[in-house]
Amino acid sequence: MSKLLKKIKTDKEAQDLLDKDLTDYINPQNFKEVEFEIKPKDKAVTLRMSHQLLDAFKSKANQEGVDYQKLMRRALENFIKKSAS
């Protein structure tokens, strides 16, 4: 029977998990797609936006466990990909 992994909050919890038999945890729900940012980020951009929009980005980024600027960059990249097709 497959088990779901709990959210790991500390290095000790991660180490304790690695010391266990993880056979029961191998299932699709315990994996998520990740993207690696390989290209250098060598240009800075300044944007003006409402406080509410910035707070929404920060809140969503916190939920996903990423930096809000990375989330903004991903949103812009997705917009460009969709508009190109």
Q: Which of 14-23, 42-51, 63-72 has the lowest mean pLDDT?
A: 14-23
Contact by Cβ (8 Å): 2, 26: yes
Q: Of 81, 79, 59, whose CA–CA distance to 68 is shortest?
A: 59
Please state the domain extents for the chain: 1-31, 38-84
Q: Which fold has domain 38-84?
A: Arc Repressor Mutant (1.10.1220)
pLDDT value of residue 1: 55
Segment 16-38 mean pLDDT: 78
Average pLDDT over residues 54-78: 93
- What pLDDT does 17 receive? 83
Distance CA 76, CA 45 (A): 12
> pTM here?
0.57
